Amino acid sequence: MSLPVLRGLVASLLLLLVAVPASGQEVTGTFEALDSLLKSGERIYVTDQNGGVVAGTVTTLTATSLELVLNGGYRQQWDQTAVREIRRRDPLLNGIAIGAGVGLGFGLAFGIPLGELIENETGGGAKATLTMAALGVVAGMATGALVDAAAKGPVLFRSGGGRTTIRLQPILSNSAKGLQVGFRF
């Protein structure tokens, strides 16, 4: 086995060792159980039963009600039955860190063979390997930040009393006939 192939395999194995198993986020159905997941001063997103979303900072959480300070200092309070869902924003920093790790792996996976090729042809292969690794890290960090910025974040609370919607739409055309079914709960 040639040295570039062996280095590529080692880089791939290192990526596998870095993988972390995913675990589910705890979702509760009561404000009482939410007390252990949510702290005063934390910024959250509340979706009411009508689908309206409000962002604010937690001031008070009891077994039956939640109060937030919204932008501008306005306070708003909900009882548990008025809330469909509560989310916490996914921090950008973890997306950037994960993206940097993945980008480094890709940068090395492509940079090591490229560096060997350049070293054999003209010399200076180490510089090419480091450049590819750095480009991979920067691209991975940017991608991780964009993904986290677009993500809604983990759900902390989901009411059992929310509306369930079933949408049925007929599909009738010369080439197809059928029924499209959509669920929202």
Query: Where does the pLDDT of residue 22 fall: very low under 50, low under 70, confident under 90, or very high at 90 and above?
Result: very low
Say how far apart CA 72 and CA 81 lie, in whole Å: 26
Query: What is the per-residue pLDDT across 150-159, written as a single tens digit (0 to 9) for each?
Result: 877 777 878 7
Checking if the pLDDT of 39 tops 50, the result is: yes
Mean pLDDT of 149-168: 71
56 closest CA partner among 65, 67, 142: 67
Q: Tell me what pLDDT residue 157 has.
A: 78
- List pLDDT tens digits, range 65-77: 999 999 888 999 9
Sorted by sequence, the CB contacts under 8 Å of residue 115 that are 6+ apart come out as 125, 126, 127, 128, 129, 132
Query: Is residue 15's pLDDT more than 80?
Result: no
For the chain, the domains span 31-90+152-171, 92-150
Q: Which CATH number fits domain 31-90+152-171: 3.40.47.10, 2.30.30.100, 2.120.10.30, 3.40.50.620?
A: 2.30.30.100
